[in-house]
Amino acid sequence: MAHEVDPNSCERTPEAIRAALQRRRDWLQAFEQEWLSAAADFDQPALDAAIDKWFPFACACATPGYLDAVEQTVKRMTEDDTEGLVFRDAEGHAYDADGRSVEAGGRR
């Protein structure tokens, strides 16, 4: 994928996470549900856990072009258009959609 998530694209605050998650209403709703539940119980560890859990999602939303690229790739794959897509296994070896090994350069 051409884009990588920028871990500095969002502040690590509930307000910033909430603002970034506007892009994905389902994620926003889940974050707010977890956050409000923890806040209602005055549970600081649960509040911290909600921030830790949802911060990477917020950064994905806040990184320009990242979700667009992911959504475009998903759309292509659901339409069986895998031409030029490279998949990697757990060791980083590159393969095409038919499972043939490809030389794709270094791991990103």
Output the pLDDT for position 1: 44
Contacts of 83 (CB under 8 A, 6+ apart): none
| Ordered per-residue pLDDT tens for the chain, 108 residues | 446 899 999 999 999 999 999 999 999 999 999 999 999 999 999 999 999 999 999 999 999 999 888 888 889 888 988 888 888 889 988 888 888 898 755 544
Residue 3 confidence (pLDDT):
67
- 3 close to 12: Cβ distance less than 8 angstroms: no
Question: What is residue 108's predicted lDDT score, i.e. its pLDDT?
Answer: 46
**pTM metric for this prediction:** 0.74
Residue 88 pLDDT? 85
Q: What integer pLDDT is reported at residue 24 of this predicted model?
A: 95
